[in-house]
Structure 1
Amino acid sequence: MTQAIDATALAADYWSTSIIDIHPGSIKVRGYPIQELIGTIGFPQMIWLMLRGELPEAAQAHLFEAALVASVDHGPHAPSIAISRMATSCGLPLNGAMASALNALDDVHGGAGQQAVELYESIAQLMDAGAAESAAVEQGVDAFIAAHGKYLPGFGHRFHPVDPRATRLLALVDESVLEKTIHGRYAAIARGIEALLKQRKNKPVPMNIDGATAVIYAELGFAPELARGVFCLSRAVGILSHAWEQRGRNERNKGPMPRQMSYRYTGHGERHLP
């Protein structure tokens, strides 16, 4: 005999969550009444609580916030920022412009932080299996290149000889290691990659913003995919700012180049149907 289905329990289980508990007059986030969080914790702590289930220690939150601040914007030539401006000039509201721009943050533009964490973790696994750090770095880098091509995420920059964001973040990482906020394992792995690239290319290939934030996210225990997720949260601030600025300029249908600049046509010369 078929058992009767408890529709109420079925519906409750269908969207079950450990994140938020809402009842009339009551909102609890990970068990904390929302009124106790409002005005007490900062937004980085709230992000951490939502994603990780517990509040961070103050030193962890400070380092996490530094990574978020560093990634907010990189100018109108960054594809996601340019998309937000073009979308706004085409008449999209702010939420539409933001959605259009955020959708561009995939593997090529926006995915390097996640990929760098994955690279660091693969090297850490080799070390856990008994490989010395230098050997693990070389093996991990070679395996990544074999699987994904010669581009190594998190190192080198087409615009900055030395990325000023990475320099500051790595200084904070070193301070956090001394304060025992983090263990420093992934920072050592990343610097091992820097040393290997310098040796192979006979010139420095410094860590960039993606490599440095990946160190922080890995040290703080974030999963690789969350490294991309929190980058999107950070870059959304720059996207919104540029979209709002563009809104005030009253320009219509702004394309990727000024109208005075022509593109190069590389197709057939003029031809006609028989």
Structure 2
Amino acid sequence: MSEPTVGDVADWWGTAVSRIAPNVIELRGRPVQDLIGSTSFAGVIWLMLRGDTPTPGQERLLEAALVSSVDHGPHAPSIAVARMAATCGVGLNNAVATGVNLLGDVHGGAGEQCVALLAEIADGAEPQEVVARWRARSKYLPGFGHRFHTVDPRRDPLLTLVDQAAADGVVDGSYLRAARAVEQLIAPVPINIDGCTAVVYGELGFPPPLARGLFVLSRSVGILAHAWEESGQGRRNKGPMPPTILPTQIGDA
């Protein structure tokens, strides 16, 4: 086997996402200096993931979904563990990474799952059949139901924006119609934020795994804010409960 050449190594790391050269930084072929000050963060996210520029309507929907998922309080596992990590001497970056690493199938993955569910209905499957199949896998229907909210305060603003985008021809409304069909079918169980953002990401053409990736980007802001706040408290938050409260003993001592 011949030794790899410089060209071989360059090809190994070949990418269409960015180009870096002396005095040159391009993102998807766009000079970064042309993006700075003229393109929103949501617009750059779209550019990096999709390779093109969103329309104003697409950008508005994406930004709304990102804003809606930023935080849901310190009881959320990703936030709680980031706060604990922030006082363990691991540094702010590690505290954020600790929180992000908890965004799995149970906490943080429902949006991805809901995009897949709604896609079946948007593609023509009967809502009742789709719901039955998904409920046969789990008692939890991704994107629907909430332990706190009978009506999630983020629902109406997001779905209203999708309604308007559909009326303006920005999206076709198929995921929105699918979500409302499911919500009507399982009433009074409401759609939650994972379901609402799934509607947005589905309407915008993002594949299900990217719905989770976009949620991670959004929730990272809340994780960072909570970790930073906790790091300034001057205390050691070394457990999920205050030190005066001891857990219940279960089983034999």
Q: TM-score, normalised by structure 1?
A: 0.89
Tell me, in whole angstroms, the C-alpha distance in 1 between the residues paired with 2:13 and 2:180: 44
Deviations 1:132-154 (A, max 9, x none): xxxx11111111222x2121011
Tell me, in whole angstroms, the C-alpha distance in 1 between the residues paired with 2:164 and 2:211: 21
Question: Aligned-pair distance for 1:268?
Answer: 1.4
Q: Which has the larger radius of gyration?
A: 1
Q: Which of 209, 230, 234 is residue 218 of structure 2 equivalent to? A: 234
Tell me, in whole angstroms, the C-alpha distance in 2 between the residues paired with 1:157 and 1:168: 17
Deviations 1:81-132 (A, max 9, x none): 101100011122110000100000000000000000010112233x1xxx5x
Q: Which of 25, 41, 44 is residue 42 of structure 2 equivalent to? A: 44
AA paired with 1:260? Answer: T
Q: Which of 159, 174, 197 is residue 186 of structure 2 equivalent to? A: 197
Question: Aligned-pair distance for 1:27?
Answer: 1.1
Q: CA RMSD in A?
A: 1.3
Structure 1 residue 107 and structure 2 residue 96: aligned? no
AA paired with 2:135? Answer: I
Question: Aligned-pair distance for 1:12?
Answer: 1.5
Name 2:193's counterpart in structure 1: 209
AA paired with 1:189? Answer: A
AA paired with 1:169? Answer: L
AA paired with 1:19? Answer: V
Name 2:134's counterpart in structure 1: 144
Q: TM-score, normalised by structure 2?
A: 0.97
Question: Aligned-pair distance for 1:8?
Answer: 2.0
Quick check: 2:47–2:53 contact (8 Å CA) kept in 1? Answer: yes
Name 1:12's counterpart in structure 2: 10
State the SS of the aligned residue for 1:22: strand
State the SS of the aligned residue for 1:230: helix
Question: Unaligned stretches of 5+ in structure 2?
Answer: none
Q: Identify which range, 54-63 or 257-266, moves more after superposition.
A: 257-266
Tell me, in whole angstroms, the C-alpha distance in 2 between the residues paired with 1:124 and 1:209: 19
Question: Aligned-pair distance for 1:6?
Answer: 5.8
AA paired with 1:71? Answer: S
State the SS of the aligned residue for 2:154: helix
Name 2:150's counterpart in structure 1: 161
Deviations 1:171-212 (A, max 9, x none): 1111111111111000000000011112xxxxx111110000
State the SS of the aligned residue for 1:164: coil
Question: Aligned-pair distance for 1:262?
Answer: 1.8
Q: Which of 59, 62, 65 is residue 64 of structure 1 equivalent to? A: 62
Tell me, in whole angstroms, the C-alpha distance in 1 between the residues paired with 2:76 and 2:195: 18
Tell me, in whole angstroms, the C-alpha distance in 1 between the residues paired with 2:144 and 2:12: 43
Number of aligned residue pairs: 253
Name 2:165's counterpart in structure 1: 176
Question: Aligned-pair distance for 1:156?
Answer: 1.1
Question: Unaligned stretches of 5+ in structure 1?
Answer: 199-203, 270-274
Q: Percent of counterpart pairs with the same letter? A: 53
Tell me, in whole angstroms, the C-alpha distance in 2 between the residues paired with 1:262 and 1:167: 41
